[in-house]
Amino acid sequence: MATLLTTLQRSAALAAMLSLAAGAFAASGPAPAAAAAEAAAISANPFAPTAEIPAVPEAFQTSELPDVIVVATGGTLAGKAADGTSFQNYRAGTYLMEDLVAQLPGKEKIADVETAQFGNKGSGSYTLQDLYDLSQTVDAALEKYDGAVVTTGTDTMEEIAYFLDLTVRSEKPVVVTGAMRPWDVIGTDGPANLYNAIKLAGSGKTKGYGTVVMLNDVIQTARDVTKANAHRMDTFETPVLGALGYIDEKNISLYRLNARAMASGTPQWRTPFDLTTIAKSNLPAVEIAYAYQGAGGGAIKQFVEDGVKGIVTAGTGAGGLSADMSAARAEAIQKGVLFVTTTRTGSGTMYQGNTPGIIAGDSLNPQHARILLTLALAFSSDYDTVKGWFQTIGTQDVPASGTVEPAAPAPELVASDLAGHWAEEPVKRAASYGIAAGYPDGTFGPDKPVTRAELAVMLMNALNVQPAVAGEPFADAASIGEWARTAVAQAKQLGIVKGYADGSFKPNAPVTRAEMAAMVGAALGLQGPADGRTSFADDAAIPAWAIPALNGIRQKGLIDGRDGNRFEPSAATTRAEASVLLLRAHDLGSA
């Protein structure tokens, strides 16, 4: 089920293809060119980490110790000082991680350690495109190793860590560390930080927490941590909320869960920001405008002239701006630039207002908000979708249930019209996972067309998402049954549904087989060649925009044809077919 989140939540970025959106779900409408372009972009963006990930050595495979890889990017930790007492006069990113790890005493007691040298320079020298590569390198490493340590410079460590937190797909431990003093001076903190980071990654205690930052024996969440002092070794702090825990020699103590840890092991854990579905060139320009007494609007105007897609404002107090900055912001919004409000004070929560084009940054500091806005705009330019991500992924608020207990299994589906049906067994399995449900009259209606409202409910059941934040309702909200309203609102918030041009949702409209194939193929990232054809007898009737996804999911055995090897793309998808398709996607993710 974990992969199901990776895939289904991608929908916001691939809305033209998969959405319950009007263009893609109008059976007689024009072929969505945007969908074909998106599919081509995906197929042209192969997963290719930039640092070679070594295979797990044979000796590690017979060891009981955890396998940990250190992905090195340089920074002060790998710095070479002018002399043994030069704390400030040094060259960052000089020593190779392989050599530094070799110097660590006692590492053989805590983990089997390998290294991968991603780069070797100061943290501020890396671009967001470099972080795109770094994230995929970490994911590639975690396919082989039990945990990863990422070493970086401390200047922009919090931004690098938050980028990884939002994009790494594996729940395995990712620990970011560095140093405030170069490796070869007296009193250096580098070796201790590296040793403890390896210990933490190998312990598995932060599995599911997302990326964490560990320096000076203190463990912090990537979302909340910030560098608070230019020189002190205890520079990293989490304002108001406090650290996750500490490392004291052999003892690793965690004292609280974050919202991500509470979602561990569920489809809800991953964000929609799967970098394997976009090219690094999709990462847009996003800037930060700082407010101060009598601030002018020139910075915002120049950012807009430079072509930025989003701007984070670091406002005074609760996000306040000067009159000139406010005027420049209003003008920029008219030009399509999205704004996120944060505070320059170092802590405090921003709450959503009613002004279009402005999104509240919650308690994210400006630099963290910029990372989230950059990723959000890389996957969607829709204001409501981006706002929804800030209100869910950005806030990481603990759900009202406050529980980490797994959901109770759904009761067995008993439906009078399923007996002897070709889909009886898989439909019952889908029901056991909470994906599908029958009608109150004791029937399932396996051969009935699945409606847009029903599909929204099935998708949200599969995703197990948090309750929706209130947003602008569809024009025909009154026609959406009470049983589907929450799911439709959740799907809208995630960017899965956008409705029709008139603002309606049309909950009772059926979903065609071509639309369902495009949706699932895009969501799972299973795309064949854009110019290919299928082997179905009615291939000529299948719209070109659906073919890449159809070939991709068919190769995985997720979808079948009908009698006579016909796909029947314009035919309505039945409730049984939708249930079986989502069940197979679940099984694929669990394999």
Q: Which tokens go with 339? A: 């704004």
In terms of C-beta density within 10 A (0-12 exposed, 13-18 middle, 19 or more buried), how is residue 327 classed?
A: middle
Pick out the residues of the known binding site for substrate. Answer: 123, 154-155
Pick out the residues of the known binding site. Answer: 123, 154-155
Whose CA is closest to 573, among 448, 457, 422? 448
Contact 590, 266 (CB under 8 A): no
Which residues is 215 bridged to in the sheet?
A: 218
- Concerning whether 76 is annotated as a catalytic residue, the answer is yes
- Burial string for 500-527 (b: 16+ CB within 10 Å, else e) reads beeebbbbebbbbbbbbbbbbbbbbbbb
Scan for tokens 């990537």, then name that residue.
Answer: 222
DSSP string, 102-121: HH-TTGGGT-EEEEEEEEEE
Which residues is 359 bridged to in the sheet?
A: 340
Contact 443, 421 (CB under 8 A): no
Whole-number Å distance between alpha carbons of 206 and 281: 32
Q: Is 317 left (phi over 0), alpha (psi -120 to 50) or beta?
A: left
| β-strand pairing of 67-74 with 147-151 | parallel
CA distances 87 to 196, 215, 231, Å, are 22, 17, 9
Strand segments (E) across 186-237: 211-215, 218-221, 226-227, 236-237
Contact 532, 545 (CB under 8 A): no
| HSE, side-chain direction, 13 A CA sphere, residue 343 | 14
In terms of C-beta density within 10 A (0-12 exposed, 13-18 middle, 19 or more buried), how is residue 55 classed?
A: exposed
Scan for tokens 């250096």, then name that residue.
Answer: 188
Asked whether the CA dihedral 429, 433, 434, 436 is positive or negative, the reply is negative
User: What does the radius of gyration of the chain's CA atoms come to, in whole angstroms?
Assistant: 25
Q: Which tokens go with 533? A: 């054809």
> Virtual CA dihedral for 35, 39, 44, 45, nearest 10 degrees?
100
Q: Catalytic: which of 76, 206, 238, 271?
A: 76
Scan for tokens 């490493």, then name that residue.
Answer: 141
Whose CA is closest to 2, among 172, 212, 148, 170? 170
Which residues participate in catalysis according to the annotation?
76
